[in-house]
Structure 1
Amino acid sequence: MFHLLFLVNLFLHVQSVPQNSSIVEFLPGFDGPLPFYLQTGYIGVGKSEEVQLFYYFVKSESDPKKDPILLWLTGGPGCSSFSGLAYEIGPLEFGQKAYNGSLPILVSSPHSWTKFASILFLEQPVNTGFSHAITSEAYKCTDLQACDHVYEFLRKWFVNHSEFISNPFYVSGDSYSGITIPIIVQLISNGIEAGKEPLINLKGYSLGNPITFFEESNYQIPYSHSMGLISNELYESLNEFCKGDYINIDPTNKQCVENFKMFKNLVSGINNGQILEPECGTDIEFYPPQSSNERRSLEEDLICQESRIATYKLATYWMNDLRVQESLHVTKGTIRRTWTRCKRTIGYTSYKVTLKNSIPYHVNLSIKGYRSLIYSGDHDMVVPFQSTQAWIKYLNYSIIDDWRPWMVNGQVGGYTMSYSNHMTYATIKGGGHTAPEYKREESFHMFKRWITQQPL
C-alpha cells in the first residue's frame, strides 16, 4: 500500500512539471537543498519554434497561489537573467567576492523579491544566457522580433502553468529593458483586448534606470556637473558651444570638440555604473581565466580583487562548470563557446536595434490605466536620473504626491513622487545602474510597497 501511494504521488509530481522543464532541488556550491521552489526549462518560439528561450521560475515564498507573478528581463541587450536572479532581486547571491580556484559559493539572499512574488527570469533575446536557436538564421533578431518572442513565450508558459493565470501579472527589468518592456506590455494589453487566450491578468510594469530614448547620453554632462566631476567653467562652455547635443557634434565646431574631449578625459577614470565605486573594467565576454601575467597584475590590485567586477566573474566560473549546467538541466551542445553574463557581440552580429524611443508606449499604457514604477539609482551615469525625470515630465501628467523622501529603517532610502497616470517615480539613494544590485534592502522595501499598492 505504501509503495502504491508513493508511486501515485510520484506520478502526480511528474505530471505537474510541464514538458521541457525540470524542478531543481540542489545546486553545486549551495549548502543543502534549495529553500525555495526553482524550475528551469525551455519554451520554443518563432518560426517552427527555432528559438529556444531558457527560463528560471521561482515561486513566491509566501502565497504563490495568490501572490503577483513578475516577469524579469535583464537588459544589455544580451545580459543573462541569472544576473537578476543572483545579483539583484532573486533568492541567491554569491558568498564570496573573489575567485579562489574552486567552485564559487552561493548563499540565500534575505532581500529576495520572491518573499512576496513569484518571479519568472527569462533569458532573452536569443543567444542570451542559455537561450539558443536551432538554426543559424534564427540567431538573427531585431528588438521588435525579440518582443514578439517574449509575448509568445508568455502565452505558452501560462498554458503550461494555468494555475497562475489569475495571479496579478507585472513585467519588470532595468537598463536596455526600458526599450523593450513597454513594447511587450503593449503586446500583452493588445492580446487581452483581442481576447487572445490565455488572458493574462496584466496589472502593470516597473523599470529601473531604463534606457528610454537614445539621446539620453546628452544628460551625462549635466549629471557630471551636478556631481562635481567637471568644473562650472567647463560645463558653461559645453552648454555655450555644443548647445546640449553631444551625440551629433559638428567636427568643424572646434571649441565644442575640444570641450567634449576635456569632459571625456576628466571622467575616464570614473565607473559609469556607480560613480563612487572603483573603475575595474568589465566582465563582458570574460572567459576563460586570465593569463598568469594578468593574474599577477590583478593580485597586485587589491581594490579590484574585491570589486563588483570580481564578483561578476564568479558567475562566469560557476555557470561554465558542467555540474552546474547539468543541475540546471541545460541542453548539452547548445551553448556557443561559453556562458557569459553579458554578451558584447549580441548587439553587433545577431541583434538589430530598430526602435530608439519607447515614450509613445508609456503614453499608450498610461491611457489604458496600467500602473508603473520607474526608479533611478542616483549614482548611475549610464542613464542619469535627470534624463528619466525629463521624459516623465514630458508626459505632462498631474502630480498627485509631490517630491518627498521615502524611508527604510528610519533613514532616507531615496525620493519619490506620483502622477495621475498611475506612475510612481523613485530614486534609490546610492544606487547604481542596476539599482537593486547596489541597494538590495532599500529596493526590496520600495518594490514591496509599490506592488502591494502602499505609498512608498
Structure 2
Amino acid sequence: MRFMARLPSSNSTQSLDFSYQFFFLQASSLHLALSDSEIIDFLPGFRGPLPFHLETGYVGVGELEDVELFYYFVKSERNPERDPLMLLLNGGPGCSGWSGLVYEIGPLKYDNDDQYNGSSLPGLVLNPYSWTKVSNIIFIDSPVGTGFSYGRTVVASQTGLFKQVHNLLHFLRKWLPDHPDFKSNPVYLAGDSYSGIPIPILAQQITIENEGSVTPPINLQGYALGNPFTDPSDLDYGIPYAHGMALISDELYESLKKNCRGKYTSIDPSNKKCLKDMQAYEKCISGIHLFYTLSPRCTNESLVLEEIINGRRSLSQDFESFLDAESHCSEHEHLLSLYWANDPSVRRALGIREERSMYLLLLCFSFLDKYLCTSIE
C-alpha cells in the first residue's frame, strides 16, 4: 500500500478557492452540543466483553445540524491520553467506517475459521495487527448516506465534495469538545482510495482556521493516504502497470499506446482501434481480482452481492452451501458483513437509530455520479 503524508503550509492555502468558504462553518456558527453516544461492552458475534474501549454515536452537523454522522471510536490500547487521534475516512465515496474497522486497521475481524452457515451470526475475533494498539481512531460513516449516517431532510441527504468536507470539519469541532481528554492529542487524518480527494482539502481548511481566529485549534499534525485516488487520470496508469507486471504482451502494450495515445479513460467512441485494444486488454486481466490480486475471482459471490444490492435477492435466502463452497473468496467476508451488520441485535448493540434501522447496510454503496454532480457548486 502506498502512503503519502504531509501537513499543508500556510503558503499552500493560496491554492484553495476561497469562494468555497461558504461551505465551511465559522466559529460563531458552531453549536458545540453533546453528541449522542454510548459505550459498547459487548458485540453480537464476539465471545465475551470487548477487551478495548468502543464508543459509537451520532453527531449532528451541517447548517441546521440535520446531517447525522455515525462513528465508531476506539481508544488506543497503549496510552490513549498521549497517543495520536486519527480520523479514518474510507473511499467510495460511500464506504462505511465499519469496513475500515473490520477489514483494514481496526481491532476486529471476521473469524475465517468459523464456517458461517446462516444459522447464527458470523463470528468476530481480535485483529492482532490493529492500529488501535498505538492510536485512538474514529471510524466515520461519511458522506451522509454512507453506512448508518443519514440526513433528516431531503436537502440534508444531498452530498458533494465540499459538503462532505464541511460536515467532517463540523464533526471534529463538535466531537473534540465532547471528548476533552483528547483535545491536546496530535490529530491525523487518514484514508484510502477516493479519500485522497476530500482529506487534503479538510487538512488545508483546518490549517487555515488554526492560523486564523477559530478556537480551540485542532492539533493537526498531518495526514496519511493509502493508494489514494486524486484525479481520473490516475486510472491511465493501470495499463503501464499491467505491462510492467507481464499481464499483457509487449505487442498489445505498444498498440494501446499508439492507438489510445496514453489515454485509457473516456475513450472517443469513434476510435475503433483503441476500443479494440481495450477489449483485448480487458480479456487479458479478466481472471484477476483487481482488489485482491492473489485471490481468485468468485463470480457467483459477486453476483450474490449485486443481487442483494439491487433488491433481487433477500438476506433471508439460504446461502449455506454456497458460503461453505466459496469461503476462500475475498468477497466472502464482505457478504458476512451484510449478515452481521443488518441483524437487529447488532443494530441494537451499536445504538443505531430507528430512522436508519430500515435501511440495508452496505459496506460500500457508491453514489459517485450524484456526489460529483452536487460538488460542482
TM-score, structure 1 as length reference:
0.69
Instruction: Indicate the SS of the match to 2:189.
Output: strand
Which structure would you say has the larger RCO, counting Cα contacts within 8 Å and 6 or more residues apart? 2
Of 97, 100, 118, the residue aligned with 2:117 is 100
What pairs up with 1:67-106 in 2 under 5 angstroms? 67-96=83-112, 99-101=116-118, 102-106=120-124
Could you tell me which residue of structure 1 aligns to residue 314 of structure 2?
A: 288
Residues 198 and 280 from structure 1, CA distance in 2 versus in 1: closer, same or farther, beyond 3 angstroms? Answer: farther
State whether structure 2 residue 331 is matched by structure 1 residue 309: yes
State whether structure 2 residue 136 is matched by structure 1 residue 118: yes
Of 296, 300, 304, the residue aligned with 1:278 is 296
What is the percent sequence identity of the aligned residues?
Answer: 44
Runs of 5+ consecutive residues of structure 1 not aligned to the other structure = 1-17, 356-456
Deviation readout 1:11-61 (Å, 9 max, x if unpaired): xxxxxxx54110111111111111011111111011211100001111111
Compute the displacement of 1:248 (Å): 3.5
Q: Which amino acid aligns with 2:69?
A: L
Instruction: Indicate the SS of the match to 2:228.
Output: coil
Compute the displacement of 1:299 (Å): 5.9
2 CA distance for matches of 1:135 and 1:39?
26
Residues 190 and 52 from structure 1, CA distance in 2 versus in 1: closer, same or farther, beyond 3 angstroms? Answer: same
Of 345, 351, 354, the residue aligned with 1:323 is 345
Compute the displacement of 1:290 (Å): 7.6
Could you tell me which residue of structure 2 aligns to residue 40 of structure 1?
A: 56
2 CA distance for matches of 1:212 and 1:137?
27
Could you tell me which residue of structure 2 aligns to residue 437 of structure 1?
A: none
What pairs up with 1:428-439 in 2 under 5 angstroms? none
Deviation readout 1:230-288 (Å, 9 max, x if unpaired): 11110011111211011232333332221111111222222111222111254466473
What pairs up with 1:243-254 in 2 under 5 angstroms? 243-254=261-272
Deviation readout 1:360-385 (Å, 9 max, x if unpaired): xxxxxxxxxxxxxxxxxxxxxxxxxx
Aligned partners of 1:56 and 1:122 also within 8 Å: yes
What pairs up with 1:16-415 in 2 under 5 angstroms? 19-96=35-112, 99-101=116-118, 102-281=120-299, 282=302, 283=305, 286=309, 288-289=314-315, 298=322, 302=325, 304-335=326-357, 337-344=359-366, 346-349=367-370, 352=373, 354=375
Deviation readout 1:78-129 (Å, 9 max, x if unpaired): 1101101111101111113653111111111111101110001111000111
Q: Which amino acid aligns with 1:194?
A: G
Residues 258 and 295 from structure 1, CA distance in 2 versus in 1: closer, same or farther, beyond 3 angstroms? Answer: farther
2 CA distance for matches of 1:152 and 1:56?
17
2 CA distance for matches of 1:159 and 1:327?
25
Deviation readout 1:324-369 (Å, 9 max, x if unpaired): 111111111324531111113x2244664638xxxxxxxxxxxxxx
Deviation readout 1:106-153 (Å, 9 max, x if unpaired): 111111101110001111000111101111221111111101100110
Instruction: Indicate the SS of the match to 1:137.
Output: coil
Residues 134 and 178 from structure 1, CA distance in 2 versus in 1: closer, same or farther, beyond 3 angstroms? Answer: same
Residues 250 and 133 from structure 1, CA distance in 2 versus in 1: closer, same or farther, beyond 3 angstroms? Answer: closer
Aligned partners of 2:96 and 2:147 also within 8 Å: yes
Aligned partners of 1:168 and 1:202 also within 8 Å: yes
Residues 213 and 52 from structure 1, CA distance in 2 versus in 1: closer, same or farther, beyond 3 angstroms? Answer: same
Runs of 5+ consecutive residues of structure 2 not aligned to the other structure = 1-33
2 CA distance for matches of 1:78 and 1:260?
28
2 CA distance for matches of 1:247 and 1:29?
43
1 CA distance for matches of 2:276 and 2:62?
48
RMSD value, Cα: 2.0
Instruction: Indicate the SS of the match to 1:215.
Output: helix
